[in-house]
């Protein structure tokens, strides 16, 4: 059983240092040299010990050190420069706004299975995640009205070591979400915002976390909550599991759940960008919603979705694309046929190069 929450006793920030918390919870600090120098200045050894994690650092530093920093005028001046720089970055007129005007809400949703934001938020594995993280950072710099959508894995990338025989060993440490630069989205009552996704065994629930990447929010779904049984809590357990059934359960949460999360947050994008095919089920959820909300036929809804989806693939090889066995698709997606207004044979054909070939698997790239 994974822990849902770890309770820790943390020092209290003195009034003069309150803006340190705001600085720590916007990963603008990760690419701003003066921000990094600020945390190093507070305690260089602890900064390195916490692996450049300002939230964990502020939780572990002694109250005496904080009180000392609050009375250090040079440190206060440094902190105020960093805070002013962050505020100026957030509030300045961006390139996009100068050319296209200001949008009241994001009009682009960027879905990815992994995001490489900073080493203290280990929800990435390799190049795909680094690209996705850079995409969000660049979007923030340009002021694009964009949000990211992904999954918050309890175990992200593994750590490598050598055993006594010289063989490589992988460890998957749990991430304490309450000690990294992410925050829970809350409903109007102050409780975690929860969405529900349909699976064959019933509904699976997920709470929504937010990483603030400069101007751009990244929303991450987390199924490790008490509403779910152990199997369902494992959906967001680990990045890139090899088991096909676990993989499809993750991708249902990313695609169907990601759209539901945006809806719960009151966000209605105009364009949906899929970074690889992992999130392609979002197209099915969008079709179901268009049919339910506007009384469209499947064909009409599909045409709208196709025109407003963007798909990027970086590995156009069969080995780099998720292809699911037809039995898995029947088990997990047949429940959506009614909402889509099509038969199961029509549904599975959406993921085949040759829809009439019953021996062909279901390709997420073809669906996208």
**Each residue's pLDDT tens digit, 306-339:** 999 999 998 777 777 899 999 999 999 999 999 9
pLDDT on residue 4: 55
pLDDT on residue 343: 97
Identify the CATH number of the domain in which residue 295 sits.
3.40.50.2000
Which of 71, 92, 113 finishes a domain?
A: 92
Q: Please report whether residue 7 resides in a domain.
A: no
C-alpha distances out from residue 327 to 95, 216, 248, 331, 359, Å = 49, 39, 12, 6, 11
- 195 and 252 within one domain: yes
Q: Where are the beta strands (DSSP E) in the chain?
A: 108-112, 146-151, 159-162, 168-171, 183-184, 194-199, 202-213, 216-222, 271-275, 309-312, 323-324, 362-363
Q: Quick one: DSSP state of residue 256? A: I
Q: Please report whether residue 9 resides in a domain.
A: no
Q: Cα 103 to the chain's mean position, in Å? A: 22
Low-confidence ranges of the chain (pLDDT < 70): 1-10
pLDDT on residue 96: 96
Domain count, the chain: 2
Whether the Cβ atoms of residue 259 and residue 221 lie closer than 8 Å to each other: no
Whether the Cβ atoms of residue 358 and residue 325 lie closer than 8 Å to each other: no
- 158 and 213 within one domain: yes
pLDDT on residue 8: 59
Q: Please report whether residue 10 resides in a domain.
A: no
Tell me the whole-structure pTM to 2 decimals. Answer: 0.94
Distance CA 180, CA 183 (A): 9
- 208 and 88 within one domain: no
pLDDT on residue 318: 75
Give the DSSP H/E element, type plus range, for residue 91: helix 73-91
DSSP one-letter string for 203-217: EEEEEEEEEEETTEE
Q: Please report whether residue 65 resides in a domain.
A: yes
- 32 and 118 within one domain: no
pLDDT on residue 316: 77
Range of the domain at 54: 15-92
């Amino acid at each position: 059983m994974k822990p849902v929450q770890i309770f820790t006793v943390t020092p209290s920030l003195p009034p003069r240092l309150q803006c340190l918390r705001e600085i720590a919870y916007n990963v603008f600090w990760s690419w701003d040299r003066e921000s990094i120098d600020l945390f190093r200045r507070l305690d260089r050894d602890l900064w390195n010990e916490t692996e450049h994690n300002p939230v964990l650092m502020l939780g572990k530093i002694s109250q005496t050190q904080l009180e000392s920093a609050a009375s250090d005028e040079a440190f206060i001046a440094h902190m105020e420069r960093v805070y002013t720089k962050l505020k100026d970055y957030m509030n300045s007129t961006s390139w996009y706004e100068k050319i296209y005007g200001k949008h009241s809400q994001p009009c682009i949703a960027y879905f990815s299975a992994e995001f490489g934001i900073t080493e203290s938020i280990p929800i990435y594995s390799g190049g795909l995640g680094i690209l996705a993280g850079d995409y969000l950072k660049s979007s923030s710099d340009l002021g694009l009205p964009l949000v990211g959508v992904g999954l918050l894995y309890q175990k992200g990338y593994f750590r490598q070591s050598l055993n006594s025989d010289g063989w490589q060993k992988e460890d998957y440490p749990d991430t304490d979400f309450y000690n990294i630069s992410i925050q829970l989205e809350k409903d109007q009552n102050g409780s975690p915002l929860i969405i529900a996704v349909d699976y064959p065994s019933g509904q699976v629930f997920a709470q929504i976390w937010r990483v603030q990447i400069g101007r751009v929010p990244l929303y991450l779904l987390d199924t490790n909550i008490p509403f779910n049984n152990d199997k369902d809590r494992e959906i967001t357990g680990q990045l890139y599991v090899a088991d096909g059934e676990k993989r499809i359960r993750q991708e249902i949460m990313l695609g169907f759940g990601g759209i539901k999360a945006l809806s719960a947050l009151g966000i209605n994008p105009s364009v949906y960008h899929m970074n690889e095919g992992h999130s392609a089920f979002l197209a099915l959820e969008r079709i179901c919603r268009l049919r339910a909300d506007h009384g469209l036929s499947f064909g009409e809804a599909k045409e709208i979705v196709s025109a407003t989806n963007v798909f990027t693939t970086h590995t156009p090889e069969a080995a780099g694309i998720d292809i699911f066995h037809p039995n898995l698709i029947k088990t997990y997606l047949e429940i959506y046929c009614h909402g889509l207004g099509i038969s199961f044979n029509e549904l599975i054909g959406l993921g085949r190069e040759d829809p009439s070939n019953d021996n062909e698997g279901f390709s997420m790239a073809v669906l996208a």
